[in-house]
Structure 1
Amino acid sequence: MRLKAPLGRGVKLLLRLAVSLALLVALLHAIGWSNVVHTLAGADPGWAALGLLLAVLANTACAWRWRALVRWLRHEVAWPWAWVAYQRGVALNAVLPGATVGGDVWRAWALQRTGLDWPRASASVLLDRISGLWGLALLGGGCAVGALLADGTALRLTLAPGGRGATAAAVGVAVLVLAWLPRALLRWGAARSGGRHPWWGWWTMLAQHEPLRHWRQQLLASVGAQAVTVAALWAAALAVGAPLAWWWLAPAAVPIFVAAALPVGLGGWGTREAASAAVLAWLGVPAAQAVGMSLLFGAYALLQAPLGLLPLPRPPSGA
């Protein structure tokens, strides 16, 4: 039995690696290997370096958001510990199968070792991922409203004449509802569970521990972190010669980032590139530039991986 678990993990790793390679090979073959290589070879080093710095800044904002979530759960960890722990999780996500799963499990385990019980430790990581997705949807939706009102044809939208205003209004209402939804869910969940089930005690705790203040923190941190992440993607786009405006890229980044987080393949490779080619075609970006931009953006995570080798600061003795 001892041999089966490592063997199973090895097979799963190979399968996910095969999925990523198959997607990349098929995509590069369809586009033309030489086109993508030429695009990457001509990448502007200044824009590429700026994208890397923005990616590090975005992960720093995400680390702050995660620490704020831990505080919302009435547990304290020092900022240096949270930053290094988050960077280590990013490094594991970049090299382990399952996109964002491996590093997240490690973060929950490390947080538990600081004295937080397992339900709250795992909930903090899960909520951190949901908060990131929430911020991405709010940012993309908000930018889409502005884009629709400014120039509906720029997104190649097939709307009836005069329909842009109605569509923008509908998206705007959806964004406002989504922004307020977490507070409503907390109140509903606390009333439904009443703290009866031990594992769901963290939900009641969130609803009772200054929910308005922490909700604002998560709103600002999540939207801000995603805005910087989109800026890193935008810098990668400019590096490969794709003249995309940041506010047009924000709505397009939603399916791209979601595809990269799917638990298939390795580190988001393949799924992210396929989504980039499909989505950015709507913005008139050639496939070679879209895939080149995505590959460069994916390289940012690999280049940040050495930060995960930093020693993890010793957590405070009392939590």
Structure 2
Amino acid sequence: MTWARLTATAAILAVLVWRLGTDPFLDGLRTVDGGALAAAAGLAMLTTVCCAWRWRIVARGLGVELPMGAAVAACYRSLFLNVALPGGVLGDVHRGISHGRDTDDVGRGLRAVAWERAAGQAVQAVLTVVLLLVLPSPVRPAMPLVAAGLVAAVAIVVVAARARPGGEGPTRWARLRRAAARDLRAGLFARRAWPAIVVASALVVAGHAATFLIAARTAGAGAPPSRMLPLALLVLLGAALPNVGGWGPREGVTAWAFAAAGLGAPRGVATAVVYGVMVLVAGLPGAAVLVVAWARRARPAPAIERTVRGGLVVPARPEGVPDA
């Protein structure tokens, strides 16, 4: 699977270089400036806090506590690992396992992260379809059919979550279905959970879209936001596809979307490069979280000086403290 992802990413980038040359990639790197990076860092702080908030809500619904500070630090670490390592999800796997070890339930920790990510992607899909229905975009003619399919999928998920099987079937599939339904009811669809999850997810999508709009403006795209927002949403969906450190499908989708919108594929590639650099820099606090955690693990435990008294080994008393 890793080799397939690497091959697909290399193929996409190779086709773009073959068709467009290296100039769009170099232009994107040259146009990145301090203002764009500062904006990306601020928006990343907003989206990271919202992701941590959403994760904490889902985890609490599944019966495990998660302090907000620890959640924010873990989400920053996850963001950095996702953009620094192949796959785009290794950071999320790491935070799920780490949280599971802290709570002595790795399975539940991984499920909390999986449901949190799924909830975010579901809200993103709904927002994307709604906005693409009302705003002009290259895919607008196909959106009514996509919207109908999305409504059907949401209905199936809601029915599955509310279903309460009476018997305890012996099959593994039946057990998995019951466990998933319990997780959905407790973690996502609980009365106090789903409104906050929707709000947090919408803010995350808004933050990512704003980052892309800034990247497009930095790369020289002069189209108005009403024309750029649908393209940003399409690119964000493409960025969720299997990738290597975020690269590959994002550049391909951006090139196609910009070309279809009449803005030019080279400008799209340059925008994708600017966006990738902004995301990488915005995730650097996660590297600091990793370094701090490593330093704490590597710090030796304080040594206790011992002495022998009467044939027994006892801790030596600090200076100035009299013997009993």
- What is the TM-score of this pair, normalised by structure 2? 0.75
Partner of 1:229: 208
Say yes or no: does 1:120 pair with 2:108: yes
Contact 2:215/2:275 (8 A) holds in 1: yes
Within 2, Cα distance between the matches of 1:267 and 1:224? 23
Partner of 1:134: 122
Partner of 2:199: 220
Aligned AA (2:218): A
Say yes or no: does 1:94 pair with 2:83: yes
Aligned AA (2:237): V
Following superposition, the deviation at residue 276 of structure 1 comes to: 0.7
- Secondary structure of the 1:204 match is helix
Partner of 2:51: 62
1:50-96 deviation digits (Å, cap 9, x = unpaired): 23422332222222211111112122111110011111111111122
Moved more, 199-208 or 58-67: 199-208
Say yes or no: does 1:260 pair with 2:227: no
Q: 1:250 to 1:225 in 2, by over 3 A?
A: same
1:192-212 deviation digits (Å, cap 9, x = unpaired): 787973795363254257712
Aligned AA (1:83): V
Following superposition, the deviation at residue 169 of structure 1 comes to: 7.1
Within 2, Cα distance between the matches of 1:257 and 1:193? 42
1:12-44 deviation digits (Å, cap 9, x = unpaired): 57x755653443243133113224423542455
- Secondary structure of the 1:29 match is helix
Q: Considering fraction of residues, name the structure with more helix.
A: 1
Partner of 1:155: 137
Within 1, Cα distance between the matches of 2:186 and 2:124? 26
Q: 1:243 to 1:180 in 2, by over 3 A?
A: farther
Aligned AA (2:98): A
Moved more, 33-42 or 111-120: 33-42
| Matched residues, number | 287
- What is the TM-score of this pair, normalised by structure 1? 0.76
Contact 1:98/1:262 (8 A) holds in 2: no
Q: State the percentage of identical aligned residues.
A: 27
Following superposition, the deviation at residue 179 of structure 1 comes to: 6.5
Within 2, Cα distance between the matches of 1:44 and 1:99? 25
Q: How does 1:36-115 map to 2 (within 5 A)?
A: 36-43=25-32, 45-100=34-89, 102-115=90-103
Moved more, 217-226 or 205-214: 205-214
Following superposition, the deviation at residue 250 of structure 1 comes to: 4.1
- Secondary structure of the 2:66 match is coil
Q: Which has the higher contact order (CA 8 A, sep 6+)?
A: 1
Greater C-alpha Rg: 2
Following superposition, the deviation at residue 170 of structure 1 comes to: 6.9
Within 2, Cα distance between the matches of 1:278 and 1:193? 51
Partner of 1:162: none
Following superposition, the deviation at residue 117 of structure 1 comes to: 2.2
Within 2, Cα distance between the matches of 1:73 and 1:89? 21
Partner of 1:5: none
Within 2, Cα distance between the matches of 1:232 and 1:123? 29
Contact 2:131/2:230 (8 A) holds in 1: yes
Within 2, Cα distance between the matches of 1:198 and 1:181? 16
Within 1, Cα distance between the matches of 2:257 and 2:214? 17
Contact 1:136/1:222 (8 A) holds in 2: yes
Contact 2:40/2:279 (8 A) holds in 1: no
Contact 1:260/1:268 (8 A) holds in 2: yes
Q: 1:182 to 1:26 in 2, by over 3 A?
A: same
Contact 2:32/2:218 (8 A) holds in 1: yes
Q: 1:43 to 1:199 in 2, by over 3 A?
A: same
Give 5+ residue unaligned stretches, structure 1.
1-8, 148-153, 160-166, 315-319
Within 2, Cα distance between the matches of 1:227 and 1:200? 34
Aligned AA (2:128): G
Give 5+ residue unaligned stretches, structure 2.
297-324
Aligned AA (1:201): A
